[in-house]
Amino acid sequence: MAKWYELGPFTVFDVETTGFSPRNDRMVELAALRIDRDGTETEFHTLIHPGRPIPACASRVHHITDAMVQDAPHFPRIGHSFLQFISGTTLVAHNARFDLGFLQESLNRGGLPLWKGNTMDTLLLSRRVYPEIASRKLQDLRVLLDLPDPSYGTGQAHRAGADVLWTKELLKHLLECILSRREEQQ
């Protein structure tokens, strides 16, 4: 049977933001894990200065404060590096519409080329593999599917780094299910 990562390369990514609107809000954290076809993993992680105060309601969710991003780069300084990092891969996110919306808006504001590559959404993929599951929240799926906690219990939900690791485990599980079903049908 083929290994799930041989279907890649993939870059699993996640963002934390100042709010819900890609047009009006900004990223404060960007994390990614590139998985090449040989299974090699490479990390990308940075806090991002949003150029405005982080609302208290957003900080309560992700626990990122103005003090934490005070010396962080603004997105245009890291945008080109991120585009190089993801080049040639399929971008993967849980609820990709949200994360990709912020990425595209940030690239556009920074005068950088928009992402034109493939994107995969583990939320939509989970519907295909497990149509009977009601909740599609990342943490609910992780618990329900008994996925390993790659952060060894130290990761905090709604921090980009931990969410990337959990999304990678979900992607691995879902692709292995699809590959297994294909093999059974042959």
Catalytic residues: 158
Bridge partner residues of 143 (DSSP):
none
Given a contact cutoff of 8 angstroms between Cβ atoms, the answer to whether 7 and 175 are in contact is yes
* Sheet hosting strand 27-35, strand order edge to edge: 41-47, 27-35, 10-17, 90-93, 119-121
- Report d(CA 42, CA 32) in Å as an integer: 8
Q: How far is CA 183 from CA 18, 175, 178, in A?
A: 44, 12, 9
- Residue 27 sits at φ, ψ, to 5 deg, of -75, 145
Residues 6+ apart with CB under 8 A from 23: 105
Q: How far is CA 46 from CA 13, 122, 153, 182, in A?
A: 12, 23, 21, 38
> What is the dihedral sign for C-alpha 177, 96, 85, 31?
negative
